[in-house]
Amino acid sequence: MLEINNLTCGYDARFSLTDINIKIKENEFLGIIGPNGSGKTTLFRAITKIIHPRNGGIFLDGIDLDEIDFKGLARKLAVVSQNFDIDMMMSVEEFVLLGRIPYRQRIQLFESKDDGKIVNEAMVLTDTLEFRKRLMGSLSGGERQLVYIARALAQKPKLLLLDEPTNQLDIAHQVKIMDLIKRLNKERNITVVIVLHDLNLASEYCDRLVLINNGRVHKIGSPCEVLTYQTIEEVYKTVVLVKENPLSKKPYVFLVSEGKGGAK
């Protein structure tokens, strides 16, 4: 579905990503991980056309992103970002309706019946229908993140991009958000690309992981292939213990405090 070929890009004279090659299959749940400043967000912004490649290209369904206008792209790809600039006095329903803008005709002023139906379905899927009339500014962090996902679903995307959607949420909301995204992936056949800091969430939910370090792809593979203690210690420069989760059989990463660095 999404192919990144020999991508080099970045900001001004500092190109923080070099020779990135990734192929993302349809209906895949792909996680992007790496230390702070490694280039995860830069890659995310390149996929969403916020920054332009210096070399190489990004292809969606075989079409170069440069050949897709923003309205056409928004009908295929939806973004859940940490940096939404929103009107806190807007109602939840009004905010989710913004997801229908890519489908509006040039002279259309109001939403259609189909728009209303799609928005209602998106709020049902994300368990946000009960506070549709509330103001965005009145929501908790977890509630707001669910509304962001509802707006993205209103776009009816084939590909969902999420930039650290569990950041600053408690563990209950983290699990709720990640379970929702996994259901959308499995039951709605939405391809997911997600940037995560939490290695254990990435391990538990993602089919494959892309580990970025110093602007390059360090390793790609299943959680079991990527999340070894050797790889984590090499990239993150910290001592860890990696064991198998007895329920999911996925790797689980334990931090090792100072003074206990000899344990593996």
pLDDT at 220: 97
pLDDT digits (tens, 9 = 90+) for 235-258: 999 999 999 999 999 999 999 887
Report which of 128, 126, 97 is spatially closest to residue 114, judged by C-alpha positions.
Answer: 97
Chain segment 29-70, per-residue pLDDT in tens: 999 999 998 989 899 989 988 888 989 999 999 999 999 998
Q: What is the pLDDT of residue 209?
A: 98
Please state the pTM of the whole predicted model: 0.91
Please, which pLDDT band fits residue 259 given cuts at 50, 70 and 90?
Answer: low
Q: Indicate if the pLDDT at residue 27 is higher than 50.
A: yes
Domains and CATH numbers, the chain: 2-226 (3.40.50.300)
d(CA 177, CA 179): 6
pLDDT for res 10: 85
Structural contact between residues 211 and 231, judged by C-beta atoms closer than 8 angstroms: yes
Write the DSSP string, 79-133. Answer: EE-S-----TTSBHHHHHHGGGGGG--TT--S--HHHHHHHHHHHHHTT-GGGTT
Amino acid 181: pLDDT = 97
CB 93 within 8 A of CB 154: no
- For position 104, what pLDDT does the model report? 78
What Å distances lie between residue 243 and 5, 43, 254, CA to CA?
34, 30, 8
SS3 198: coil
3-state secondary structure 155-192: CCCCEEEEECCCCCCCHHHHHHHHHHHHHHHHHCCCEE
Q: What is the mean pLDDT of residues 156-178?
A: 93
74-106 residue pLDDT tens:
999 999 987 667 777 899 999 999 999 888 776
Q: Are 244 and 251 in contact (CB under 8 A)?
A: yes
pLDDT band at 263 (very low <50, low <70, confident <90, very high): very low
